[in-house]
């Protein structure tokens, strides 16, 4: 039998940066699903940043005709979108003290904003955000997922959506644009390695 750890145990024991998320059965509940996606997010961002660090600055900023232009532009968009969504999530009635570092960040001015022209600064911010996500997810309770979150999009249009559904969108959006970044890195001659969520699932 594979040992089962709560997310808090994983955090305490420093296992969260491992490439494995240990689950004892094949039936994930909603919180376990979210925990798994947060772990996958951090794991993949570490891999992307390690791969991108092999390229010189001019290669990272070269326009490759992607949605956000360059590798650096795509990685910036991921940071921008995460900040935008985490600031919305911080308005959840539960409060989520772990999101305080994000509350202190300036509001992004647009989805294509280049927050960082220096890759090392971008990577440092990426690490901080991912650590914040991991700590925040550990605060979640089942009842929190059923709340209707009220927020406005970047155009000021008000929305009222199920919080759990928004979390799924949050992690799905990251995966979508990391796929683009992986393609751009591969085209630039840098291999990212395995990107499959399968790498975090134990063989039962």
Helix H or strand E segment including 56: none
For residue 165, is it within any domain? yes
The mean pLDDT value for 160-189 works out to: 96
What local confidence, expressed as pLDDT, does residue 26 receive?
Answer: 56
d(CA 131, CA 123): 12
User: What is the CB neighbour count within 10 angstroms for residue 35?
Assistant: 23
Which residue's entry shows tokens 């996606």? 37
The model's pTM is: 0.85
Furthest C-alpha separation in the chain: 50
- How many domains does the chain divide into? 1
d(CA 62, CA 114): 14
For residue 16, is it within any domain? no
What does the pLDDT look like over 88-108, one tens digit per residue?
A: 999 999 999 999 999 999 999
For residue 11, is it within any domain? no
What does the pLDDT look like over 7-57, one tens digit per residue?
A: 444 434 444 433 334 444 457 899 999 999 999 999 999 999 999 999 999
For residue 14, is it within any domain? no
Q: Above pLDDT 90, what percent of the chain?
A: 76
Please list the alpha-helical segments (H only) found in the chain: 7-12, 30-52, 57-60, 71-89, 100-103, 119-137, 163-187
* CATH of residue 126: 1.20.120.450
């Amino acid at each position: 039998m594979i040992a089962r750890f709560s997310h808090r145990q994983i955090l305490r024991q420093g296992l969260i940066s491992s490439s494995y998320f240990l689950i004892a059965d094949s039936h994930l509940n909603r919180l376990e699903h979210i925990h798994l996606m947060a772990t996958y997010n951090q794991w993949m961002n570490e891999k992307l940043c390690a791969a991108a660090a092999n390229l010189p600055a001019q290669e990272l900023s070269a326009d490759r005709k992607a949605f956000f232009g360059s590798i650096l532009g795509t990685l910036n968009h991921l940071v921008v979108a995460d900040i935008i969504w985490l600031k919305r999530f911080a308005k959840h009635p539960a409060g989520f003290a772990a999101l305080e570092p994000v509350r202190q960040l300036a509001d992004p001015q647009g989805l294509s904003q280049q927050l960082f022209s220096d890759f090392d600064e971008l990577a440092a911010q990426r690490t901080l955000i991912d650590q914040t996500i991991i700590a925040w997810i550990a605060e979640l309770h089942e009842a929190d997922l059923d709340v209707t979150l009220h927020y406005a999009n970047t155009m000021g249009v008000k929305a009222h959506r199920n919080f759990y559904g928004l979390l799924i969108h949050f992690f799905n959006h990251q995966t979508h644009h990391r796929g683009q970044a992986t393609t751009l890195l591969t085209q630039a001659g840098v291999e990212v390695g395995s990107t499959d969520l399968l790498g975090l699932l134990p063989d039962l």
